[in-house]
Structure 1
């Protein structure tokens, strides 16, 4: 039994989906095979193939787009697509173009709206941990502060999909291990570049955060993201190991390189108020994997749906939607990236359990659900074209800007 099986318990199977490899009649989709013909893999680059097909599911017929990524090829790699800051967004095609990727899909769920907190601006920052090219960008928000569907039993915002320095893909979880050493003693660090901090904690913000306000971090609670913003807050700016500024409320604007801004709420704010300009402060942080000894080179958040060939127990089998997912096969050497089509004719989509079953049908042993709905996008540079563009129809009619994604980089 695998580590993840011990964590989640035995999975359960659902009715296998009928995957029809013909294309829909009249669908204006890139690279479609002739009506009635079997869908063939289209070679996009070395180690990277694409195809599309119909799925007949509970809510009706939907349409899937799939990328097959061969990580055994040394010319192929997978990296985090992101716009250079945690609290920023861009389209998948724009991110892929800017970073030189051949293809990609959208990534984690994110802080998309703040209707419950008047005057507070949504940050656009993602829910879960993020690592780019081996550098830790952020940690996970509390479970009750996440955006997206209800998490399956046994999962949390710390769950990640990623690729290790050994070039093998895997599922895991990453938790924050950090501290703030002050003249008054050592404080635990409750957050790193997060749009929401645990109640009573201190969070650190670096230049990776971006220029968005840090005020959202003190709104909501660990169990209710709509709860009012805290009125007990404090902020301390640290540079060169010393406090250089303090404020009663979280601020905004870029954090300069070599600078860390500490934001405290409730008990955390009370601890930070003990510091004054000139106080010595040392901030340390890292993300720790529960079971893997090989570091992640790239990782992002979401939640697992398939573990060692078994569907996780408790997956929703009633709500159908347009969705994005990633599957792992061949001992972590092959990926399947799935994005459903958001065109009106296919928008009924799949349930989460059907997504897991689809990924298993494709050959995945493990699978991970990513953000869906209007965020679901697959972009690629198709043969005969010179630019990366969406190959599915985003549900909103245009690509939605997202905080991150999975980018595939490959030789020709």
Structure 2
């Protein structure tokens, strides 16, 4: 039988490439006052934005799925085409509580959208985000920079506001809807650049971090300048270029903080800063940024759990509260799923267990969203009462988050 240390090493080797331990990401954990990590953190891959170490699940024999028993089921219709269901399941590893919002986008008046506040880095409780769109239900969104800017790490597109943020090389897996009603889980590629300077690579748009040696773009949707927090504190060989109406209006080797962004601000680090030095005040600079036009809504997750009904997740070690979105093409449903964890009545799930759950619920494709203390599901109560939290967040209350998936219905 594997030891606890062996389990941690296996999980780190298998999962590190799929959980965001990549150059574009903010530091996954913050050291304490002594500059040291909390006990147990150093050997665990980052699976939630809060970076808390997960309990190690009891080992199971390879290829053997634990027998699952279901109890305490209840459900109600939130709106035509939208239904909420809650139940508990137990197996050899213990109990866990599952929450499912089942959505039929083909029903007239039902649609999914990106839930957020007015600016990309701003955070609020899920219920606040959902009320902005008069949503009837929703779940928390993707991973975000919890210790600094508060901004999402991946792709975001709102039906009304359009494309908001993305990174070119990381956090590309996303759940999307198209203009023709298509549903998809897979990579979304962002394109950004300066038409007059194609040699300058823009790798991030409204992201928490400018990629080292490259150039990031910040727009009105970001809000105000963030100083050196977006360059990991790097102060030398950095440059900011302000563009309005297709012209460079200012440039500086110092980064400001708290100034409202009008037009666009390009921020470079190292070689990227050197390239931006070519842009002179008054020169033309046509800045563009987009994801494919066919997507009307997009939100990033992390690990793809299911592809064509087959389990794609690998980690079966760490238990956490989990949130996921799945596509059931046979019954024309989108499944928004939250699993409580870090509590006595609900142990949480590993990523492999989450993938199995999504498959049992009928999904052929599924994507892991942010978990841990972020895991939240909200919806109208029985009898169309006010919007409320339907699960038990592990922090004891709703954690402020930057985005989520909103369910709208007439």
TM-score range, shorter chain: 0.7 to 0.9
- How far the C-alpha of 1:410 sits from its partner, in A, is 1.0
Report the counterpart of residue 310 of structure 1 in structure 2.
310
Q: Deviations over 1:129-149 (max 9, x none)?
A: 111117111112754xxxxxx
Which residue of structure 1 aligns with residue 347 of structure 2? 348
Question: Does 1:54 pair with 2:111?
Answer: no
Which of 236, 244, 252 aligns to 1:239? It is 244
Query: Shift of the alpha carbon at 1:260?
Result: 0.5
Secondary structure at 1:383 match in 2: coil
Q: CA deviation at 1:46?
A: 0.8
Aligned length: 348
* 1:196 match: 209
Is the 1:206–1:260 Cα contact (8 Å) retained in structure 2?
Answer: yes
| CA deviation map 1:358-381 (0-9, x unaligned) | 000000001000000100000111
Which residue of the other structure, out of 254, 272, 278, is the alignment partner of 1:274?
Answer: 278
Q: Which residue of 2 aligns with 1:218?
A: 231
Does structure 2 retain, via aligned residues, the 8 Å contact 1:54–1:63? Answer: yes
CA distance change for structure 1 residues 20 and 48 in 2, over 3 Å: closer, same or farther? farther
Q: In the alignment, what sits opposite 1:129?
A: 155
Output one character per residue of 1:384-408: Cα deviation in whole Å (capped at 9) or x when no partner: 4542111111100010011110110
The structure-2 alpha-carbon separation of the partners of 1:268 and 1:171, relative to structure 1 and needing over 3 Å to count, comes to same
Partner of 1:22: 71
Matched, 1:89 2:123: yes
**Root-mean-square deviation (CA), in Å?**
2.3
**CA displacement 1:207-253 (0-9 Å, x = unmatched):** 1112361533222xxxxxxxx63621000101111111222133233
**Residue 264 and residue 57 in structure 1: after superposition, are their counterparts in 2 closer, same or farther (change >3 A)?**
farther
SS at match of 1:270: helix
Give how far 1:197 is off. 2.1
Deviation at 1:192, TM superposition (A): 0.9
Partner of 2:357: 358
TM superposition shift of 1:255:
4.3
Tell me: CA distance 1:235–1:212, structure 2 relative to 1, closer, same or farther (3 Å): closer
Gaps of 5+ in 2: 1-17, 19-61
Is 2:290 the counterpart of 1:286?
A: yes
Q: Secondary structure at the match of 1:187?
A: coil
Please give the secondary structure, in 2, of the residue aligned with 1:236: strand
Structure 1 SS opposite 2:190: strand
Q: Equivalent residue of 1:97, what SS?
A: helix
Deviation for aligned residue 1:112: 0.5
The Cα shift of 1:308 comes to: 0.5
